[in-house]
Amino acid sequence: MELAYYSDYAVRLVNSEEPARGKDSLTSVEAVRDLFGVNQSAARRATDADVTRFRSVRARLRAVFEAADGGDETLAVDLLNSLLLEFPVSPQISGHDFRDDDGRPLWHMHLADHPSNATAGYAAIAAMGLAFHLTEYGVDRLGLCEAAPCRNAYLDTSTNRSRRYCSDRCATRANVAAYRARKRLEADRSGRTGLVADSAQRSTASGER
């Protein structure tokens, strides 16, 4: 499993809540387990107590994205470092479930967590994955969607650092909203121009009488 994959853990957890819309899908132990994806062995460790713990870690991860999105690199790094200290992992070389044509393992880096509970395991992987992404691509690659009121987290992997939205859906919605705003502005300007012209015509006509 590539280390870049682990950064998705952070995004999935942060986006389980949409504060501006008042939505929160992290309301049960089943929702917690769903966040683990294919890692079902780790998901089975989750209990009802992890719901509250996951929410706490989620708030701290969102703070990292907010700091990065706001251009405060130092704060983003400090917040992430605090998570790394609290939830450590052990990088290990692994070859399970992967074989090349000769039947040999395809060695890759794996993050082995040693958690006391499901939250600690998830937080360790999410924080380490986000740290790898941040140091490899830069703090400015951590963003929050600009399509209000979304504000979902995303990781910018574009070649020109141009990503601004969490999804194509949000990008389309923002572009449509911008287009409509331009049309309203043009109509308003056209209306004011018409009023000025009409007023000028009336003034001219009054002067000729």
pLDDT value of position 92: 78
* Dihedral (CA of 157, 161, 165, 171) sign: negative
Q: What is the pLDDT of residues 1-37, one digit of tens each?
A: 456 678 999 999 999 999 988 999 999 999 999 999 8
Distance of CA 184 to the CA centre of its chain: 31
Question: Does this model's pTM top 0.75?
Answer: yes
Residue 62: HSE in the Cβ half-sphere, 13 Å Cα cutoff: 17
